[in-house]
Amino acid sequence: MADQAFVTLATNDGYARGAMVLGKSLRNHKTSKKLVALIGPQMSEPCQAVLKRIYDEVKVVDVLDSGDVAHLAMMKRPDLGVTFTKLHCWTLTHYSKCVFMDADTLVLSNIDELFEREELSAAPDPGWPDCFNSGVFVFRPSLETYGKLLQYCTEHGSFDGGDQGVLNGFFSNWATADISKHLPFIYNLSSIAIYTYLPAFKQFGGNAKVVHFLGKTKPWSYTYDTKSKQFKGSMNEASAHPTFLLNWWTLFSSAVVPMLQEQYGDQPFHSGCVEDESSTSLAEATEPQMSSEERKKKWEQGQADYMGMDSFDNIKRKLDTFLK
Ligand code: UDP
Ligand code: MN
């Protein structure tokens, strides 16, 4: 349907990579909806060009020089910069219904059925399930709602400093009013839930439709070794499940990096991919063997030995057996 769209936001080149992978994943799963990316004015030209190849519409949103109500709101609450930018999605009134998705989400199957839901539908937040997580939500663009949201934002601020606090404050009856506005968790599966309830992940993880890499470390913050399929960087933060992180990087390195390379031409750019055989030896070098009980406990606490025995290939093999 031409008047329905998936919408994301990327204010800088890092989040742009996320948006590229998200857009590709939606296309790969044959969405019939339009794809819209809201971007910040400081995004580099090559990134904008790649986004324009993947998305139907790329719209620059600059709260600072918009001169409208958002700008006024921004003057009162400069701390809520990106939040105001995200609220801009309500101004896309040439669409009747939209699904907003954070740039750090990845689609694993077709999710067009989300458009059967009403505003404001979202999945519970794993940290406080009476709040919805604002990484994936169904909404209806409307200048009236947009105005009310900005007003709410300036008057009440955000209880968590971000858009999720504002949106939960505004749509405050989400938890209790209408169960059809509660999206199943598989539409916004965050890695944190995997570690806090591993048996549930084992039981239901294979049904996941959207993965959300929430938290400080994003997929594009890692360095990926295309040869050994291993990651470098602070994997011990357990911010991302290795299987889903591998999904993200497989799509990024195969479908997005070639487009970036084309756009950057002779300009230097770092894809985040390396081919370094020395990283494999890390896994082999793990000396003291932990008992399997001890290891399981550590892993469930989020302290996996990603460089060693919990390396990507080992975990992937294991997870593939029950994700099948
Ligand atoms: N975002 C952005 N630039 C920023 C921070 C956030 O474009 O500097 C957008 C992006 O779409 C991102 C969303 O706002 O996915 C929410 O932020 P984030 O995903 O980092 O929050 P988390 O899900 O980790 O709480
Ligand atoms: Mn996010």
pLDDT mean across residues, the chain = 87
Q: How far is the CA of 157 from the centre of ligand 1 (A)?
A: 18
Res 66: pLDDT: 78
- The 10s digit of each residue's pLDDT in 223-277 is 888 888 888 766 655 566 788 999 999 999 999 999 999 999 988 889 998 886 5
- Give yes or no for residue 103 CB within 6 A of ligand 1: yes
- Give yes or no for residue 214 CB within 6 A of ligand 1: yes
| Burial zone of 56 (CB within 10 Å; 0-12 exposed, 13-18 middle, 19+ buried) | middle
Alpha helices in 95-224 (DSSP H): 143-156, 163-170, 191-196, 198-204
- The 10s digit of each residue's pLDDT in 279-309 is 543 333 333 445 555 655 665 555 655 555 5
Query: Smallest Cα–Cα separation from 249: which of 205, 213, 215, 280?
Result: 213
Q: Model-level pTM?
A: 0.87
Res 111: pLDDT: 98
Measured CA to CA, the distance from residue 61 to residue 74 in angstroms comes to 13
SS3 280: helix
* Contacts of 266-273 spanning 24+ positions with Cβ under 8 A: 267/46, 269/46, 272/17, 272/220, 272/222, 272/223, 272/224, 273/223, 273/224, 273/225, 273/226, 273/249
Name the percent of the chain lying above pLDDT 90.
Answer: 64
Domains of the chain: 4-184 (3.90.550.10), 219-310 (no CATH)
**Ligand 1, atom 1: nearest CA belongs to which residue?**
10
Per-residue confidence band for 316, with pLDDT thresholds at 50, 70 and 90: low
- Give yes or no for residue 215 CB within 6 A of ligand 1: yes
Q: Give the Å distances, CA to CA, from 317 to 130, 189, 278, 311.
A: 35, 21, 22, 10
Q: How far is the CA of 106 from the centre of ligand 1 (A)?
A: 14
For residue 238, give both structure tokens: 């357990």
Measured CA to CA, the distance from residue 164 to residue 168 in angstroms comes to 6
For residue 157, give both structure tokens: 């601020």
Does the pLDDT at position 92 exceed 80? yes
Does the pLDDT at position 74 exceed 70? yes
- The 10s digit of each residue's pLDDT in 41-54 is 999 999 999 999 99
- Give yes or no for residue 82 CB within 6 A of ligand 1: yes
**Ligand 1, atom 7: nearest CA belongs to which residue?**
10
Report the amino acid identity of residue 159.
Answer: F
- The 10s digit of each residue's pLDDT in 155-175 is 998 999 899 999 999 999 999
- Ligand lying nearest the CA atom of residue 161: 1
Name the percent of the chain lying above pLDDT 70.
Answer: 82
Query: Smallest Cα–Cα separation from 36: which of 94, 110, 83?
Result: 94
Per-residue confidence band for 24, with pLDDT thresholds at 50, 70 and 90: very high
- The DSSP 8-state label assigned to residue 80 in this structure reads G
Looking at per-residue pLDDT, the higher value among 149 and 294 belongs to 149
The torsion of the CA quartet 264, 100, 211, 103, rounded to 10 degrees, works out to: 20
- The DSSP 8-state label assigned to residue 148 in this structure reads H
